[in-house]
Amino acid sequence: MSLNVTAASVFVALFGLVTLLGFVAARWRKADLNLLHEWGLGGRRFGTVVTWFLLGGDLYTAYTFIAVPALVYGAGAMGFFAVPYTILIYPILYLIFPRLWKIAHERGHVTAADYVRERFDSRFLALAVALTGIVATMPYIALQLVGMEVVIGALGFPAGGLTGHLPLIIAFIVLAAFTYTSGLRAPALIAVVKDMLIFVTIFAAIVIIPAKLGGYGAIFASVPQEKLTLTPPSGDSLGSYSAYITLALGSALALFLYPHSMTGILSASSGKVIRRNAAALSAYSFVLGLIALLGYMAIAAGVGNNPLYAAGFAQHGANFAVPALFLDSFSSWFVGVAFAAIAIGALVPAAIMSIACANLFTRNLYKEFWKPDCTEAEETRMAKIVSLVVKIGAVVFILAIPQAYAIQLQLLGGIWIIQLLPPILLGLFTRGFNAHALLLGWAAGTAIGTYMAATRGFVSSIYPLEILGVTLPGYAALYSVLVNLLVAVALSPVLDRLARRGAGSATR
Amino acid sequence: MTGKQMKRSLARYWPRFLLVIPFLLVAFVPFYNRVEPTLGDVPFFYWFQLAAILIGAVVVLIVYLLEMWVTRTTSRAHADLDSSGTPGDIL
Closest among A386, A47, A22, A341 to A185, alpha carbons compared: A22
Quick one: pLDDT at residue A259? 93
Q: How far apart are CA A97 and CA A274, in angstroms?
A: 8
CA of B73, closest CA in chain A: separation in Å? 18
Query: Does position A501 have pLDDT exceeding 90, yes or no?
Result: no
- What does the mean pLDDT of chain B come to? 79
Among partner residues B23, B35, B82, which is closest to A88 by beta-carbon distance?
A: B23
End-to-end CA distance of chain B: 38
> Inter-chain contact B41–A220, Cβ cutoff 8 Å?
yes
Q: How many CA atoms lie within 13 A of A462 on its CB side?
A: 16
Quick one: pLDDT at residue A374? 84
Contact B24/A at CB under 8 A? no
From residue A269, alpha-carbon distances to A60, A98, B25 in Å are 21, 11, 32
Quick one: pLDDT at residue A508? 42
Which chain A residue is nearest to residue B61, measuring alpha carbons?
A279
Q: Residue A149 corresponds to which amino acid?
A: E
Question: Using one digit for the tens of pLDDT, what is the confidence trace for A407-461?
Answer: 777 788 899 999 999 999 888 888 778 899 999 999 999 999 999 988 888 878 8
Q: Which residues of chain A make contact with B90, given a CB cutoff of 8 A?
A: 47-49
Cβ–Cβ under 8 Å, residues A122 and A357: no
Contact B1/A at CB under 8 A? no
DSSP B74: -
**A473 phi and psi, to 5 degrees?**
-65, 130
Q: Cα A310 to the chain's mean position, in Å?
A: 29
Q: How far apart are CA A486 and CA A464, in angstroms?
A: 20
Contact B73/A at CB under 8 A? no
Structurally, at CATH architecture level, domain A5-11+36-502 sits in: Up-down Bundle (1.20)
Q: How many CA atoms lie within 13 A of A472 on its CB side?
A: 13
Question: Using one digit for the tens of pLDDT, what is the confidence trace for B27-55?
Answer: 888 899 888 888 888 899 999 999 999 99
Query: Does position B75 have pLDDT exceeding 80, yes or no?
Result: no
Domain residue limits, chain B: 12-72
Q: How far apart are CA A316 and CA A321, in angstroms?
A: 9
Stretch (H or E) spanning A162: helix A161-182
Stretch (H or E) spanning A471: strand A470-475
Stretch (H or E) spanning A463: strand A462-467
Quick one: pLDDT at residue A418? 95
Q: How far apart are CA A145 and CA A140, in angstroms?
A: 9
ipTM above 0.90, yes or no: no
More confident residue, A505 or A466: A466
DSSP A270: -
Domain residue limits, chain A: 5-11+36-502
Question: Using one digit for the tens of pLDDT, what is the confidence trace for A125-180?
Answer: 999 999 999 999 988 888 888 888 888 888 887 766 667 778 888 888 888 888 99
> Inter-chain contact A216–B40, Cβ cutoff 8 Å?
yes
> Inter-chain contact B19–A91, Cβ cutoff 8 Å?
yes
pLDDT band at B86 (very low <50, low <70, confident <90, very high): very low
pTM: 0.89
